[in-house]
Amino acid sequence: MTEETLTPTDKASANPAIRESHLSQVNSVTPSFIPLIPMMVFFVLFLGTGIYYTLDGVEQAFYQLPAPIAVLPAIALSILLAKDSLEKSIGHLIAGMGDKNIIAMCLIYLLAGAFGALTTQIGAVAAVVNLCLDLIPASFILPGLFLIASIVSFSMGTSMGTLAALAPIGMGLTESLQVSPALVAGILLSGAMFGDNLSVISDTTIAAIRTQGATAADKLKQNARWAVPAAVITVILYSIFADGGEAVEIKDYQWYNLIPYAFILGLALFGWNVFVILTIGIVVAIVVGLIGGSFAGDSGVAVTMYQGFSSMQEIFLLSMLVGGLGGLIKAQGGLVWLVQKISGLFGVAKSQLRAKLALLSTTAVTNLAIANNTVSIVLTGDVTHELARKNNISPKQSASLVDIGACSIQGVLPYGAQCLLLGSSFSISPLAPGQYAWYLPLLLVIALAGTIKTKQPED
């Protein structure tokens, strides 16, 4: 949602004139709290409905009112509260929906969805899981499960897809190892959030780099400096609970099904554009699938790709609608008011550390309300970008911080998609997985500690 998104060749060094132009546009409106009321209405509708259905015993309670529908009354209220004419307000709405960052994210969502569907169809996900099980000793199964979830999530770019794929394996482990289902669910949750947070094709990464003007490779390297130590400590802690284990059945897999993931990872590390990375990954997955005969019958290439597109429908619509609401709020002075309040709360003009705390807390608090880490990053994109710019925080650091803030909270929310899925899969309370998702608080602590030592941006 930033006014100026930088390409990998632009980096984030930026044309000062462009940045000053953006700042003048932001500061040209009168700060006001009133424009933020519609967003609060969205929060109340989404949360209130979820709480109501939870108390009523309805499964997947927080998804009975789809978020793209919940945001529509907020948009209508924002237009009614605007002092501008109806035509001008609609113009702000359309401009926000058509922001190049929003459109870019939506296109990337489609590409990522197609890639995920293709790799699942050709057996790449199953190959990753079984390869990891093949390499991990039975006595290391519990911490090994964290590693498997991490690798699968990093490869797929989705924590939800990872949890859906690995939950059956986790359930089998609880029976064979006689361990707590909540512990296994927490281990899977930790690994899934670790991989999702780092993955270059994750929707949270896409949102973070687009709103902060970073590149996928730079964000990956910066994020890894904090995430990897947290993961290592997590593996050590989980190892304490691994008092031996029984062998897990390993199914047959073909090594060539891993090739699409190898391309994705390799190209990302070389700093290629995310559009190019995903396009090449899709082509490679198609070639591998055609050679292996994975697209026979009703599972043709076109059908599989469209299924991938369809899987991104909710986040696609929600990103555009939230972008439109954000355009209205920004035009009416709501974002300027929010920036000023957050700046005053953390005293960011006096301390870069406090500015980084503000970046973390902005997405974290927002995600606490809406239980969607991607939307939290998109929604606060203008605010966090301005905080980072004013305090000379490099785009790769700000992208990592906003992603960490949102993901750390998302993973432990009992009304979040991840805990709800695990609660249903393991027949446990959605509160239970968060108790054992030790990686998430460790990530927050290490990220905060890392910001203390970080000097001026290298970009």
Token pair, residue 309, equals: 């597109």
Side chain identity, residue 438 = W
Give the CA distances from residue 112 to residues 7, 406, 421, in Å, rounded to whole numbers and listed in that order.
Answer: 19, 20, 21
Q: Where do the DSSP E strands lie in 53-118?
A: none
Neighbours of 152 (CB within 10 A): 27
Neighbours of 154 (CB within 10 A): 25
Tell me how far apart the alpha carbons of residues 262 and 128 are, in angstroms, rounded to a whole number. 11
Tell me how far apart the alpha carbons of residues 99 and 85 are, in angstroms, rounded to a whole number. 21
Residue 439, exposed/middle/buried by CB under 10 A (0-12, 13-18, 19+)? buried
Side chain identity, residue 313 = Q
* Eight-class DSSP state of 296: -
Residue 11, pLDDT score: 37
Q: Spell out the residues 6+ positions from residue 404 whose beta carbon is closer than 8 angstroms to its own.
A: 197, 223, 226, 227, 360, 443, 444, 447
Residue 9, pLDDT score: 32
DSSP string computed for 295-354: T-TT--HHHHHHHHHHHTHHHHHHHHHHHHHHHHHHHTTHHHHHHHHHHHHHTTTT-HHH
Q: Spell out the residues 6+ positions from residue 20 whose beta carbon is closer than 8 angstroms to its own.
A: none
Query: Is the separation of the CB atoms in 101 and 381 below 8 Å?
Result: yes
Residue 268, pLDDT score: 65
* Eight-class DSSP state of 33: S
Query: What Rg value do the Cα atoms of the chain yield, rounded?
Result: 22
Query: Model confidence over 220-269: pLDDT tens digits?
Result: 999 999 999 999 999 999 888 755 455 556 677 788 888 887 887 777 66
**Angle in degrees, CA 190, 211, 272, rounded to 5:** 80
Determine the straight-line distance between the first and last CA of the chain, rounded to whole angstroms: 21
Tell me how far apart the alpha carbons of residues 315 and 375 are, in angstroms, rounded to a whole number. 8
Read off the pTM. 0.66
Return the closest-CA partner of residue 459 out of 368, 396, 365: 396
Residue 176, pLDDT score: 61
Tell me how far apart the alpha carbons of residues 326 and 296 are, in angstroms, rounded to a whole number. 44
Residues of the chain with pLDDT under 70: 1-28, 60, 62, 101, 105, 132-133, 138, 168, 172, 175-177, 242-250, 268-269, 271, 297-298, 339, 342-351, 369-371, 415, 424, 451-459
Give 150's Cβ-side CA count (13 Å radius). 22
Q: Spell out the residues 6+ positions from residue 15 whose beta carbon is closer than 8 angstroms to its own.
A: none
Return the closest-CA partner of residue 115 out of 198, 199, 182: 199
Residue 343, pLDDT score: 61
**Angle in degrees, CA 40, 42, 47, rounded to 5:** 95
Return the closest-CA partner of residue 459 out of 399, 404, 400, 393: 393
Query: Model confidence over 351-392: pLDDT tens digits?
Result: 677 888 888 888 887 777 666 788 778 878 888 888 888 888
Query: Is the separation of the CB atoms in 106 and 316 below 8 Å?
Result: yes
